[in-house]
Chains A and B, each alone.
Chain A
Amino acid sequence: MSGKAYRPPEQGKAGQIFDSIFLLVLVYAVLFAPLVLGLTGGGTITKTVEEPTWEALGQNPTMAAQWEKLGFTPETAAEMITTRFDYTINPWALLLTAAVILGYFIFLIKFSEKEYREVINERFGEKK
């Protein structure tokens, strides 16, 4: 651990503020924006039932009684009951997602390894 140690530049005030703002922007642009723009969320489909009754919605008397205790009528509960997730798999989307996750982890492990060797060499000295 002699003169060979890496001496990082000190980051000034402006740089620190810029970096903090960059992170905030990243959070809002990538995570918050899709959420409020409605791009994300449950991939669901809703069937409409004409003249909903508890029977038409497939609810037995016990279920109907519980719905009513919760303050629902067949009309107000219809959408909740008929909304279903759409689990049809688009193979390309699945492949893309898998590739992104795998690629991300490979990138992480590879670069971490490189940086880790530097850390160890500086901490324990170059390997003889």
Chain B
Amino acid sequence: MSSTDTAGQDRQRISLLRVLGPAHVWALGVGIVLVGEFMGWNFSVGKGGAMGSLIACWVIGLLYTCVAMIDSEVTSTVAAAGGQYAQAKHIMGPLMAFNVGLYLVMAYTMLEAADALVVGDLLSSVAGEMGHDALDPRPFVVLTIAALAWLNYRGVLMTLTVNFVITAAAFISIVVLFLGVQPWNPGHMLQHRELLTDLPYGWIGVIAAFQFGIWYYLGIEGTCQAAEEVRSPARSLPYGTMSGIITLLIAATMTWYVATGLLPWEFLGQAATPLYDAARVTGSTALQVFLFIGTTFAAIASANGCINDASRAWFSMGRDRYMPLWFGAVHPRYRTPYRAILFLIPIAVSFSFTGLLDQVITFSILSGLLGYTFMPVNMWMFRRKWPLGSIRRGYVHPFHPLPAIVLLLLCITTYFATFLGYGTQLLAMMCFYIVASLWFTFHRYKYVRRGDQFTMPWSRPRGY
């Protein structure tokens, strides 16, 4: 492109492309989360034992059902890139929106770091089995992040089409493992009778397990990040989210069943790649190869979706001047938030390099959890400021305010669960958001245009 071309374009506007369908939404949602079945969920076994983990899986499943109900109603009405961030901006106000935006960026960036870490770990353990000790995982960590960032840089349609294929392949590998261990023939390979123990910590361990129970589903709410790129958001988003939750419930149950039937809980509670290890124990090379591919694909799909979501949230904040305006740029050819993508690469890489999988995951979980705590409050205000019938909603969830109350109670319990065992990290994370909020309130907000933040064609909120 020469500089004469650009002169005439000064009045032009460029924006993200609206090209995605429901399958892409499913791939974005499930693609991010499915890796949670291949790694991370098993730390809940470490915190509360195998049975504790199963209870956590179900209770947190309830938490996410509430999240999906609430989120579908708000998202089908506020369809803008940035998802919950745009919701907070229209319903609760700028400071809350700034924080929600940060939650999204941190939750996804840390998840991306965890994904890359697992790819590196898996490769070094495979190299170890093939007789090469001490393979350096770092080049593979960087390669994973760099390659996916590059893909994201080059365009969203390609990115999510790739994600659809590899997510489906990873899901199939879980099903293959499930069938491969012959669940209809207990005692043959699956040894639940011998391996399952009583609750090692009693009931407090079950509560403590809630922390990593989040990991079975974390990120499913990311579907609404794509709102500006989906062809009919009001229909595609709730549909993609709901089908995603169902997929995850099935996958989580199968994963728990297979892993606890093959691995002693003390091992399972600390493993980096539990499903791959489960396949290793079966003694079948075919299953092992399958799960190697499945784990890698799931991690890549997840990191890919995370880069997509984190950069869109960061971009939206730049566009509103919550962050330096420089980040609000769209690539003129690929139509992607390219500067946001580049900026987040070093953060993901450095957290990956620490190798502390459970702690990187905890940062992600906490950021997610703060976001879920925001949702019930947001929902109450949404119904109060715009009662049913005052604006057009794509979807209205039933039983309000019951889901909001349940969600809030479960969030409080999960903070307590994180306090058990990861208390310092909880405080570090809170410290981060408090300093960032002070910075925003007393420094950053002066650059923000006030009225422009409200972009929805809605009536004036009641009571203002």
Contacts and interface: CB of A to CB of B under 8 A. Distances in A.
Asked if chains A and B come from one complex, the reply is: yes
Interface string A86-128: 1101000110110011001101110111111111111110010
B424 A8 contact: no
A19 B420 CA distance: 35
A97 B95 contact: no
Interface stretch (B116-124, B221-229, B239-247, B343-351): B343-351
Interface stretch (B53-61, B157-165, B262-270): B262-270
Contacts of A56: none
B431 interface: yes
B354 A36 contact: yes
Nearest to B207: A87
A22 B435 CA distance: 11
B92 A32 contact: no
A8 B415 CA distance: 38
A84 to B, nearest CB: 8
Contacts of A124: 460, 464
Interface string A10-41: 11000111011011101110111011100111
Interface string B85-99: 000100011111101
Contacts of B363: 31
Most-contacted residue by chain B among A20, A23, A44, A116 (CB, 10 A): A116
Contact of A119 (B343, B439, B451): B451
Contacts of B281: 66, 69-70
A105 B415 CA distance: 13
A75 to B, nearest CB: 15
Given A60-B194, A120-B454, A34 B425 contact: yes
A115 B424 contact: no
A116 B460 CA distance: 12
Nearest to B440: A111
A105 B373 CA distance: 9
Interface in B420-459: 420-437, 439, 441, 444-451, 453-454
A127 to B, nearest CB: 7
A31 B429 contact: yes
Interface stretch (B136-144, B318-326, B391-399): B318-326
B280 interface: yes
Given A63-B195, A111-B95, A120-B461, A20 B343 contact: yes
B201 interface: yes
A81 B200 CA distance: 12
A97 B427 contact: yes
Contact of A85 (B47, B95, B356, B373): B47
A81 to B, nearest CB: 5
A100 B429 CA distance: 11
Contact of B356 (A35, A62, A69, A122): A35
Contacts of B194: 60-63
A74 to B, nearest CB: 12
Contacts of B422: 40-43
B280 A87 contact: no
A127 B463 CA distance: 10
Nearest to B438: A107
A112 B93 contact: yes
B232 interface: no
A67 to B, nearest CB: 6
A83 to B, nearest CB: 8
B425 A101 contact: no
Interface string B196-231: 000011001100100000000000000000000000
Contacts of B325: 11, 16
A94 B449 contact: no
Q: Considering residues B325, B423, B437, which has the most beta carbons from chain A within 10 angstroms of its beta carbon? A: B423
B350 to A, nearest CB: 6
Interface of B: 46-47, 88, 92-97, 99, 191, 194-195, 200-201, 204-205, 208, 262-264, 266-267, 270, 277, 280-281, 283, 321, 323-327, 343, 346-347, 350-351, 354, 356, 358-360, 363, 373, 377, 415, 419-437, 439, 441, 444-451, 453-454, 460-461, 464
Interface of A: 1, 5-6, 8-11, 15-17, 19-20, 22-24, 26-28, 30-32, 34-36, 39-44, 59-63, 66-67, 69-70, 72, 77, 80-81, 83-87, 89, 93-94, 96-97, 100-101, 104-105, 107-109, 111-124, 127
17 contacts: A11-B324, A19-B324, A30-B431, A35-B354, A35-B356, A35-B359, A42-B422, A44-B421, A77-B266, A100-B430, A108-B96, A112-B96, A115-B445, A116-B464, A119-B450, A120-B460, A120-B464
